[in-house]
């Protein structure tokens, strides 16, 4: 396979898109983020990279809490809206037609239309340059019953998540195989 060497950049493969909700001092907000991931299993932690200029950055710093809401493909346009304007001057819930729902642990609202909501408390902050990486300790996970798959997993066919590939939204293709499917050939336990 012949490769071309590109400029240093963040060129990457598809990433799931999330809606990050925050709240502080009687205000709340919802922001689209693709730079989100699981970063630790025990204790369970996730991380989101947020540019300093975002209203979300301000609310995150002030409250030390956030919720990661994972949307379905049905609401991709609402997700796009939440990434186009700032909540500093607009109520993006109203603008995007999204519904606030009370969580169990955090002040930040859950997005009711998202089947998965992960409430977090900031456990570490890493200023990296344009973006700050906020690591969040998971406090509570809410999953819509109809999206629960086998052994506590998410049923992606019921959930219908989508990803961002550079500047395009794509839904997911077909199942390729099972995690650990090669383990028996390797004689290891997956």
Residues that bind ligand FMN (CB under 6 A): 17, 29, 31-35, 49-51, 54-56, 80, 83-88, 131, 164
What residue is closest to ligand FMN based on CB? 83
* The two three-digit tokens of residue 60, written as one number: 């995150």
CA 51 – CA 187 distance, rounded (Å): 45
Least Å distance between CB 7 and ligand FMN? 20
What are the angstrom distances between the C-alpha of 45 and each of 39, 89, 115, 154, 173?
A: 6, 31, 19, 18, 27
Least Å distance between CB 79 and ligand FMN? 7
Q: Nearer to ligand FMN by C-beta: 49 or 147?
A: 49
Least Å distance between CB 80 and ligand FMN? 6
Q: Nearer to ligand FMN by C-beta: 73 or 155?
A: 73
Least Å distance between CB 159 and ligand FMN? 18
What is the DSSP-derived secondary structure letter of residue 104?
S
* The two three-digit tokens of residue 101, written as one number: 């729902």
What is the DSSP-derived secondary structure letter of residue 173?
-
Q: Nearer to ligand FMN by C-beta: 56 or 117?
A: 56
Q: Nearer to ligand FMN by C-beta: 87 or 136?
A: 87
CA 66 – CA 109 distance, rounded (Å): 9
The closest alpha carbon to 162, from 69, 76, 98, belongs to 76
């Amino acid at each position: 396979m012949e490769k071309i060497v590109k400029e240093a950049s963040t060129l990457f493969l598809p990433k799931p898109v999330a809606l990050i909700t925050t709240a502080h001092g009687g205000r709340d907000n919802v922001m689209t983020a693709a730079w989100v991931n699981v970063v630790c299993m025990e204790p369970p932690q996730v991380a989101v990279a947020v540019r300093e200029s975002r209203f979300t950055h301000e609310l995150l710093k002030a409250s030390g809490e956030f919720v990661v809401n994972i949307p379905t493909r049905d609401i991709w346009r609402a997700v796009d809206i939440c990434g186009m304007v700032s909540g500093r001057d607009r109520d993006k819930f109203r603008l995007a037609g999204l519904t606030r729902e009370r969580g169990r642990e955090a002040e930040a609202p859950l997005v009711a239309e998202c089947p998965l909501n992960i409430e977090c408390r900031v456990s570490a902050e890493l200023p990296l340059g344009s973006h700050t990486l906020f690591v969040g300790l998971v406090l509570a996970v809410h999953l819509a019953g109809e999206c629960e798959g086998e052994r506590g997993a998410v049923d992606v066919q019921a959930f219908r998540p989508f990803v961002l590939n550079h500047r395009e939204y794509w839904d997911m293709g077909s199942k390729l195989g099972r995690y650990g499917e090669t383990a028996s050939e390797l004689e290891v336990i997956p």
